[in-house]
Amino acid sequence: MAPSVSEHTKQRAKRQTKACKKSTTSRRRKRCSSTVDGDRSTKRHRSQSSPRVLNATAKSGSDGEVKVEPPRLVDFEKDYGIPKRQFTWGDPEPGPKEELFDEEETAPPPAVPSAYCNYGRSARQAALLRSPSLDSSSCLRRRLHESPSVSPSPEPEARPRIIIRLKKTKKGPGLMDMPAEVREEIYRGLLVSHKPIPVYDGWRRVYQRENPELDINILMVSKKIFVEARGVLYGENTFLYRLRDMPGRSQVMANVRELASNHVYVPQGEDSLFVNEDNLLGGEPHLPGTINIQKYAPYFRYITLQADHNRYSAHTREFMANAIKTFARSAPGKNNIHTLSIVISPRYIDQGKFTFVDFFDPKSCLIDALKCVSCETIRVHIWNEYLSDGMGPPCTRLMMRVHQLRFFKHLVQQQQEEQEREKRVNERQAVEGHENHQASKPKRRDIWRKDERMHKFRFKRLCAINKRLEKLKSYVFEACNKHMEKHKRSRHNATDEQGWSDDEESAYLLADGADSEVDFDQEFDEPNDSDNDSDFDPN
Per-residue pLDDT band at 38 (split at 50, 70, 90): very low
Per-residue pLDDT band at 30 (split at 50, 70, 90): low
Q: What is the mean pLDDT of residues 344-370?
A: 89
Q: What is the mean pLDDT of residues 349-370?
A: 89
Report the pLDDT value the prediction gives residue 152, as an integer from 0 to 100: 57
Q: List pLDDT tens digits, range 378-395.
A: 999 998 888 877 677 788
Q: List pLDDT tens digits, range 479-523.
A: 888 877 666 655 544 434 443 333 333 323 333 444 445 555 544
Using CB atoms within 10 Å of the CB of residue 411, give its burial: 0 to 12 exposed, 13 to 18 middle, 19+ buried: middle
pLDDT of 237 strictly over 90: yes
Give the H or E element holding residue 401: strand 395-401
Mean pLDDT of the chain: 70
Report the pLDDT value the prediction gives residue 184, as an integer from 0 to 100: 93
Which has more pLDDT, 45 or 414?
414
Report the pLDDT value the prediction gives residue 174, as an integer from 0 to 100: 85
Q: Edge-to-edge strands of the sheet including 395-401? A: 205-206, 197-200, 238-242, 302-306, 337-344, 375-383, 395-401, 517-519
Q: Is the dihedral of CA 140, 143, 145, 150 positive or negative?
A: negative
Report the pLDDT value the prediction gives residue 498, as an integer from 0 to 100: 40
Report the pLDDT value the prediction gives residue 187, as an integer from 0 to 100: 93
Report the pLDDT value the prediction gives residue 94, as an integer from 0 to 100: 72
Concatenate the DSSP letters of all residues of 108-154 into one string.
PPP-PPPTT--TT--HHHHHHHT-GGG-HHHHHHHHHHHS-SS-SSP
Strand 395-401 versus strand 375-383 pairing type:
antiparallel
Q: List pLDDT tens digits, range 90-140.
A: 566 677 777 666 666 666 777 776 666 555 556 666 565 555 555 555 555
Report the pLDDT value the prediction gives residue 195, as an integer from 0 to 100: 92
* Of 31-40, 210-219, 316-325, 349-358, the least confident: 31-40
Residues 211 and 205: their CA atoms lie apart, in Å, by 11
Report the pLDDT value the prediction gives residue 427, as an integer from 0 to 100: 84
Which has more pLDDT, 424 or 191?
191
Give the H or E element holding residue 507: none
Report the pLDDT value the prediction gives residue 229, as an integer from 0 to 100: 93
Which has more pLDDT, 518 or 405?
405
Enumerate long-range contacts of 49-58, CB under 8 Å, 24 or more apart: 53/16, 53/20, 56/13, 56/16, 56/20, 57/20
* Of 1-15, 304-318, 389-403, the least confident: 1-15
The pair phi, psi for residue 151, each rounded to 5°, is -65, 135
pLDDT of 205 strictly over 60: yes
Which has more pLDDT, 42 or 107?
107
Short-list 315, 313, 307, 201, CA closest to 250:
315
Per-residue pLDDT band at 408 (split at 50, 70, 90): confident
Short-list 239, 370, 242, CA closest to 306:
242
